[in-house]
Amino acid sequence: MEKVKFAIPAGSLAKATFEILQRSGYKVSGQERTYRPTINDPKIELKILRPQEIPVFVSEGLQDVGITGQDWIKETCADVEILENLEYGKIKLVVAVPKSFNTADSVGGIMESIWSKGKNVRVSTEYLNIAAEYVKTNPAYQKRFGNSEPLLVTPWWRKGENPRAKIFLSFGATEAKPPENADFIMDVTETGSTLEQNNLRIIDTVMQSSAVLIANKKALTAPEKKEKIYDIMTLLKGVVDGAKRIHIFVNVKKENLQKLLKDLPALRNPTIAPLADENWCSVNTIIEKDHLIELLPKIRKLAQGIVVYEPRQVLALDDVKRREEDTCPASSK
């Protein structure tokens, strides 16, 4: 079998990515010295790439599967299959302006204020496509310029026709650009503290993003690759689901067993085992973490003792199977 080419992200997503791989049972080594670390699955070939590149490479079939941010999928317009939200690397893509710019509280108002003075609006961002669409669909922009394309400016090329709204490619430190080089920025933030420290204030949230597992659609039609890709998905999803659940063990008198199960509908498909005392049995099951506080008073009244621990993984094989069937092309079903 040809190896499944698995792209994992460098940069801010790297640490959490290696952690989720480890928790899922994979052993990855060499990432400190090479862009091609080893993994304890001979059918997987890892490669470290920038998260900005991964959606494009997966879409083009240069990588079969990858982990990247939802923001970069949208920015690159990559045609990929999103298999699982891994729920880490959570950020917001926001619009921010200098605190000194207090004449308007909306992007449209700020742009109109700048245009009314005969000046051009300048935006700094790493997200050229998202920013262009954001500016173009703003009612203030459409009122003045209709469907004309904002001018995208990079060191290598320019694209668009309207110099009254210029969107400059930023190579990082975007928050440092205003006010000399930009009127407002579009950038990612977790807490907003960096923007605050640079005297910027958020005036709009464009989207929220987190790390996701994506796959090449053609790779999902190749039976052997598809199986390995869904193995990866199952293990990673198990870690995500495991973080939301707890495993509980309770001892209950047999005479109270049915009442316990009836009063606690969250205890689905529990395992029931006899104890040395024939009048008692053990019930163990997995529940949502948020349910424990609600269920505890009822458990105390009907059961004796409770042991709680967090599972490393919860492998919901039926859920993964349904997801696999949903993403299979019609011709392969």
Q: What is the pLDDT of residue 171?
A: 94
Sheet holding 280-288, edge to edge: 271-274, 280-288, 245-253, 303-309
| pLDDT 10s digits, 162-180 | 999 999 999 999 999 999 9
Q: What is the pLDDT of residue 70?
A: 98
Q: How confident is the model at residue 305 (pLDDT cuts 50, 70, 90)?
A: confident
What is the CATH T-level fold of the domain 245-309, as seen in this structure? Alpha-Beta Plaits (3.30.70)
Which of 204, 50, 65 minimizes the C-alpha distance to 123? 204
Q: Determine phi and psi for 199, rounding to 5 degrees.
A: 60, 40
- pLDDT of residue 240 exceeding 70: yes
Q: How confident is the model at residue 333 (pLDDT cuts 50, 70, 90)?
A: very low
Q: What is the pLDDT of residue 295?
A: 82
Q: What is the pLDDT of residue 268?
A: 65
Q: How confident is the model at residue 330 (pLDDT cuts 50, 70, 90)?
A: very low
Portion of the chain with pLDDT greater than 90, in percent: 70
DSSP E strand stretches across the chain: 4-9, 28-29, 38-39, 44-49, 65-69, 81-85, 91-98, 121-125, 150-153, 158-159, 162-169, 184-189, 200-209, 211-215, 245-253, 271-274, 280-288, 303-309
Rounded average pLDDT over 247-274: 82
Tell me how many helices (H) and strands (E) the chain has. Answer: 11, 18
Rounded to the nearest integer, the mean pLDDT of the chain is 90
- pLDDT of residue 329 exceeding 60: no
Portion of the chain with pLDDT greater than 70, in percent: 90
| pLDDT 10s digits, 109-163 | 999 999 999 999 999 999 999 999 999 999 999 999 999 999 999 999 999 999 9
- pLDDT of residue 331 exceeding 50: no
Q: What is the pLDDT of residue 266?
A: 62
Q: What is the pLDDT of residue 298?
A: 81
Burial label, 133 (beta-carbon count in 10 A; 0-12, 13-18, 19+)? middle
Sign of CA dihedral 223, 229, 232, 233: negative
Q: How confident is the model at residue 290 (pLDDT cuts 50, 70, 90)?
A: confident
Which is more confidently placed, 68 or 328? 68
Is-contact 282 275, C-beta < 8 A? Answer: yes
Q: What is the pLDDT of residue 286?
A: 82
Q: What is the pLDDT of residue 332?
A: 43
Q: How confident is the model at residue 315 (pLDDT cuts 50, 70, 90)?
A: low
| pLDDT 10s digits, 32-86 | 899 999 999 999 999 999 999 999 999 999 999 999 999 999 999 999 999 999 9
CATH of domain 92-208: 3.40.190.10
Task: Say how far apart CA 50 and CA 60 lie, in whole Å.
Answer: 16
Domain with CATH 3.30.70.120 in the chain: 245-309
**3-state SS class at 257:** helix
What is the CATH T-level fold of the domain 4-89+210-242, as seen in this structure? D-Maltodextrin-Binding Protein; domain 2 (3.40.190)
Q: How confident is the model at residue 304 (pLDDT cuts 50, 70, 90)?
A: confident
- pLDDT of residue 234 exceeding 50: yes
Task: Say how far apart CA 316 and CA 227 lie, in whole Å.
Answer: 16
Q: What is the pLDDT of residue 145?
A: 97
Q: Which structure tokens are listed for 28?
A: 């990855």
Rounded average pLDDT over 324-331: 56
Domain with CATH 3.40.190.10 in the chain: 4-89+210-242, 92-208
